[in-house]
């Protein structure tokens, strides 16, 4: 029994020494005293340890040979500016603040396409007479043109057209559809 106990104690001591290894003692200073400059020295690799290869991969040569090189991804293209439609309240041609921001964003398209002409098309919902909607669509197109000119766009690049209720964006007959039809649509012309 005594033999087993001493064998067990020896095994525990051996395991503790094995797990602890023979690391060098390192003095750690939690705070650097004022006025003292601390440099971190580059320590050589101990003789009994293997240094990692200088390459960025730690794969064995056979594995590394089977891995195909990674191709660089192409640079992301910046999004091409687009001309976005704006919308109006019922029986109105005033440009709302949110739609003014859309028009400011549309100016990027004109910057990316200098000299390109654009037709500003005024549209209305199906309510109201045909004649009234033609006039309202014209007022919406004129208001949009004037806003863009005030932002610095050359008015000679802009044509206005009105279609009233003749070219709806959607053919449904409800409040949501009518709201989508009260719009200015931009068309690039040659």
Alpha-carbon span 125 to 130, nearest angstrom: 10
pTM: 0.57
Cβ neighbours of residue 94 under 8 Å, at least 6 residues apart? 88, 143
**Cβ atoms of residues 87 and 179 within 8 Å:** yes
Average pLDDT score over residue span 7-31? 56
Q: Tens of pLDDT along 46-96?
A: 565 555 555 555 566 665 566 666 565 555 555 667 899 999 999 999 999
Domains of the chain: 86-189 (3.30.1330.60)
């Amino acid at each position: 029994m005594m033999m087993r106990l001493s064998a067990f104690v020896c095994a525990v001591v051996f395991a503790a020494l094995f797990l602890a290894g023979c690391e060098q003692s390192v003095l750690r200073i939690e705070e650097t005293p004022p006025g003292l400059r601390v440099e971190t020295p580059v320590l050589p690799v101990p003789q009994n340890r293997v240094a990692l290869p200088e390459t960025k991969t730690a794969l064995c040569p056979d594995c590394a040979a089977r891995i195909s090189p990674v191709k660089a991804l192409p640079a992301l293209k910046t999004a091409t500016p687009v001309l976005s439609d704006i919308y109006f309240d019922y029986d109105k041609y005033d440009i709302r603040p949110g739609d003014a921001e859309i028009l400011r964003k549309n100016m990027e398209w004109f910057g990316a396409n200098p000299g390109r002409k654009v037709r500003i098309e005024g549209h209305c919902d199906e309510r109201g007479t045909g004649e009234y909607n033609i006039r309202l669509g014209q007022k919406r197109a004129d208001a949009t043109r004037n806003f863009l000119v005030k932002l610095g766009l050359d008015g000679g690049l802009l044509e206005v057209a009105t279609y009233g209720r003749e070219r709806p964006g959607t053919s449904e007959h409800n409040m949501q559809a009518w709201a989508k039809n009260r719009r200015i649509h931009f068309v690039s012309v040659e």
